[in-house]
Each structure stands twice: as structure tokens, then as C-alpha cells.
Structure 1
């Protein structure tokens, strides 16, 4: 009788133990159920428009990443894309991980994309260097199409690329080039510095000097290079160019894990490079704000602006936010964008 009564008690304990799933088992069961519903239950799918041809050789998930690996293939990227256009036509696609890339190489296709559908193609895909180096996509060439993009583009066109501004910049360029060429013989005789012995370095120094003078009104050749600021700016700019061309795992596989865990170390380098660039831009901006507060320069416009930062300060108020960005952030991001226009 004792054995008969103990059987159902043990059986009840066994049933209770089976109902105690571990968290991992519960998650696995939910994922299995979700995949089963998604893949096996019939759903009504809307017809998709026909896509341009995709190049052959794509792998699941990773796409065509191996095709663009330079291992054993020294062709430049432009030559590879040109050869693919000869094979697949002027419009084709490939996959860099999960994102799909569209390549166009004919006048009609370019006109269709950038004239008839320019608003559609104005948006930019999310990328890590835009978040960590581009002031959280406040830089014009990284911002998505919208009021912010239109306002900053209008400002750059009117104040940087207008005929009046270009004529002023032309005079600055000519004066800078003449002075550098005029001082070159004396520098050769009195010093053996690297910038004189290496013509490439001398041209680089001249180019960066022009950019900084047009943007911030600073002339490093006349004793304005405080604490080696010019060299730090050039080094930070070089690092940005290198990082912007690096393959970042998150850009190909936009999974939060690859942003939180920096497998390649790129996020750490981006943050450090941004800190170096931003500190220089912030110093230029603070100097201009202080100068405008202590001088008779008109804050709300007029013809007294000396450089691009002065123009930006005269067009923006300190209280107004642009798409959630502060005035200082917008100015520094636009300065960052403008230096590419001056190269």
C-alpha cells in the first residue's frame, strides 16, 4: 500500500520538474516557434518590383565581400566596377554583407537617379564613421535628406561656393601661394627642414595652410601655430581619411553586437580621432566667439566676416537648435565638410 501511494507523488514531482525550463531553453523554444511561423505558415506577399541584375558569386549573409578583396587582384576598385558593367550592363547590384549596393555607369541612369529621383537617392545609409567622426551625421555629405540638409546645403552654396565668396578666396589663395614661393629660396638657404627638402610635404603644408586660413583665418606661418596645432590637425585629418576607407564590420552587418563589442578596434580609433579633430575646431570656434564679443564686428550679418567660421556665426543664433544639434555642433560639422571643398 505504501508503494502504491508513493507512485503518484513521485510522478507529480517529475511533472513539476519538467515544467521548470531554464531561461536558455525558453528562449530557444520561442525562437523556434517564431522561425516556424515566419517560414512555414502561408502569408500573402506583395509583389516586389524587378531589381537590377546582381553579380554572380554572392554568398549567403556575407554577399560579395570576397570579390572585392585585393588578395591576388591588384585592379583598382573603379576598374573592377568597369569590368562588371561591361558584363552586367550599366546598372547592376552587389551585396557588401547585408546591405545591397547599386552601381550606375551610364548618363541615362545617372540622370534618372539624380534628376527625376534625386530626393529618393539623397538619403545616406547609416555608417559608424558618420556617427563617431561625422558629429552624429551632422556633416552635410552624411546627413539624410530633409530640412536640415536643405538649409545647410543652401548655406554652403551661398557662402562658400558663390561667385563673390570664390573671388575672395581666389585672392587669398594667390596671396598665400606667392608668399610661399617668394620665401622658398630663403628657407632653402637658412634651414634643412623637411618641408623644403620634400616637395610633396611642402605642397601638403601649403594646401593645409590655405584650408585653415580660409576656414578659420589663421596663418600658421606667421607665428600662429600654437603648440603644434597645424601638425595635430594634419595628423587627425590623415587618420580620418584612413578610417573612412576601412572596412568596418558593423557597416556590412548592422547588428548592435558589432557596435558594442569593438572586435576590430575601429570604434576606439574613431573616438580618439574625433576627439583630436573636435578639440581643434572647438578652439577655433571659441576664439572667433571671443573676438566677436570684444570687437565691433556685426553679429547679424554685414560685410565684415573674415572667414567661414565668422560667416556661420553671423547666420546662426546660439539658442536655435537645428534638428537637435546645437549651434556649435552644426558649425563644427559644416567646417569639417567645407575643408573637403577647399582641397
Structure 2
């Protein structure tokens, strides 16, 4: 029965793909009639049904060499398909400037990925989440409380010692393995990111690993947050570092988010926004 179910799903996927390609061809035909030929960059040949060009990236050639050889063949701007996603490839400085400087807002957002969902507090992590009003507001809060020139100068004399002591403490207790694992998982290729309907199969066991890692990280980060909330409720409105009499970053972000982030918190809880922002 399991084999039969998989066969039915596979056949249905093929049919859906063929229907999608037919509809896409019809849309492209309409676009050519309305706007003329040459309006879209060429798509590289070698695309397979469903997976697109993913099989090329699975070869022995490293990705930048592969894309370079494809640019020699298809030109300095072309597209490839990574599963259901169409990706634009540019390979000269003028086009890179157009994408990353002149029209940077068009390309500023980020593709959804299971790692960001499961280990980034469901896209509340502004460093990896989509570009938009929420990203702007949280980024502004973080810059004001941590990365502004005034704040950098104010914390300069304690930064080195604090970083050293924190790294030693984290390394000895818990983060040594978890941080290594989260970096590996954020950089891993997850099949369902390219082909979403494969997620239920959890190929490679990535979803299970990410959920486990997210829980391990949250235990520590949530513990810090709860400590700050208890101190805030029992002492002054804004906690300070005892050695310098200056506000603590996590407590400062918590206060600012409560005061400034409206719009029903963009669908995120206050705690998740603070934890995700501090995790960055």
C-alpha cells in the first residue's frame, strides 16, 4: 500500500508539473504577444521535470565554476530553476550593481527556507527573515541599542573582556556543539526548500534535526530572557550592567519592542522577536 501511495503521488506530481508547464507556456506566449520577444533573460538548458537544474549542482563541479561555465554558454544574465524556484544568475559587475545597488529593494527579500522557519523563530529573525516593515523596525531598534556610533563608543572599554568571558562560558556549557550544528544546518541543502511538497518525507532528516536544535537553543536563550523579565519586574524599569551602569542589550530590546512595535507585532510574540533578534 505504501508503494502504491508513493506511485500515485509521483504520477500526480508529474501531471501537476505538466499542467504547470503548459500554463506557463501559455502565459509566456501571451507576454511575447504583448511585450515582444527578448523581454526575459534566457533559461539555461538541461532542466529536468520537477527538480529543474538541481541535478547539475549535485555533480562534482563546485557551484561557482558550474555557473561560470554556464555563463560562457548562455551569456552574462540567465535563469535556472531550483525545484519550483526560478533563480536569476548575473556574472558581471555592471549587472551586479543594478541588482544590489540601483534596484536593491527589488532583490532585498529572502527566500523562505525550513531552517529559518524552525530555528529562526518562524521568520522573526530579522537577519534572515523577509524584507519589509517588520525588518525595518527591528533593524532600527537593534542598531540604536547595539550598533550605533554612540553605543559602540560607550561599550568600547568592556567589549573585549565581555566577549572573551561569554565565549568561554558558552563553549564550556552548551553552545560548542549547538552553534556548530546550527551553522551546518543553515548552510545545508534541504530538498523541500526547492520542492515544497517533499517536506512531508523529510529527506535527509533535516526537519527533525532543526527542530531538535531549535529547542536546545531556545532553552538557553529563553532562560536569559526570563531572567531579564524577572529583574525588570522586581527592580528598575531598565536593567543595567553592574560594572558600567549601562543598559543591558536584551533588556533594552525587550523594552523598545514593547513600546514601539505595533501592528499587532506582525504576527510574532514579543518574546520571539526579542529572542530572534538577540540570536542574530
TM-score range, shorter chain: 0.7 to 0.9
1:315 Cα shift? Answer: 0.6
Structure 1 residues 89 and 311, CA gap change in structure 2 (3 angstroms)? farther
The one of 258, 272, 276 aligned to 2:216 = 276
Distance in 2 between the 1:61 and 1:147 partners? 34
The one of 299, 313, 318 aligned to 2:254 = 313
SS at match of 1:101: strand
Deviations 1:278-336 (A, max 9, x none): 1111001011111222223537xxx9644320220221228964101111000011112
Question: Is the CA contact (8 Å cut-off) linking 2:44 and 2:80 kept in structure 1?
Answer: yes
- Segments of 5+ residues of structure 2 without an aligned counterpart are 1-10
Distance in 1 between the 2:248 and 2:71 partners? 44
Structure 1 residues 81 and 305, CA gap change in structure 2 (3 angstroms)? farther
When the two structures are superposed, what TM-score results if normalisation uses the length of structure 1? 0.63
In structure 2, the partner of 1:47 is 31
In structure 2, the partner of 1:247 is 189
Q: Does 90-99 or 235-244 show the bigger shift?
A: 90-99
Question: Is the CA contact (8 Å cut-off) linking 2:238 and 2:251 kept in structure 1?
Answer: no
Question: Is the CA contact (8 Å cut-off) linking 1:297 and 1:304 kept in structure 2?
Answer: no
In structure 1, the partner of 2:3 is none
When the two structures are superposed, what TM-score results if normalisation uses the length of structure 2? 0.75
Distance in 2 between the 1:152 and 1:310 partners? 14
Establish whether residue 262 from structure 1 lines up as the match of residue 202 from structure 2: yes
CA-based RMSD: 3.4
Distance in 2 between the 1:110 and 1:274 partners? 35
SS at match of 2:265: coil
Structure 1 residues 46 and 87, CA gap change in structure 2 (3 angstroms)? closer
Structure 1 residues 298 and 87, CA gap change in structure 2 (3 angstroms)? same
The one of 203, 219, 232 aligned to 2:174 = 232
Distance in 2 between the 1:101 and 1:39 partners? 20
Question: Is the CA contact (8 Å cut-off) linking 2:238 and 2:247 kept in structure 1?
Answer: no
The one of 89, 94, 109 aligned to 1:123 = 109
Question: Is the CA contact (8 Å cut-off) linking 2:115 and 2:186 kept in structure 1?
Answer: yes
Alignment of 1:1-343 (within 5 A): 46-47=30-31, 50-71=39-60, 73=61, 75=62, 77-175=63-161, 206=164, 209=166, 220=169, 230-255=172-197, 258-298=198-238, 305-317=246-258, 321-337=264-280
Deviations 1:9-37 (A, max 9, x none): xxxxxxxxxxxxxxxxxxx9xx99xx89x
In structure 2, the partner of 1:18 is none
- Segments of 5+ residues of structure 1 without an aligned counterpart are 1-27, 178-205, 211-218, 338-343
Distance in 2 between the 1:164 and 1:89 partners? 47
Question: Is the CA contact (8 Å cut-off) linking 2:142 and 2:253 kept in structure 1?
Answer: no
Q: What is the total number of aligned residue pairs between the two structures?
A: 252
Deviations 1:85-120 (A, max 9, x none): 455444332222221222234332233223343332
Question: Is the CA contact (8 Å cut-off) linking 1:298 and 1:304 kept in structure 2?
Answer: no
Max radius of gyration: which structure? 1
SS at match of 1:95: strand
SS at match of 2:80: strand
1:251 Cα shift? Answer: 0.9
Distance in 2 between the 1:266 and 1:234 partners? 20
Deviations 1:12-67 (A, max 9, x none): xxxxxxxxxxxxxxxx9xx99xx89x959x97853157332333433232222222
Distance in 2 between the 1:39 and 1:92 partners? 21
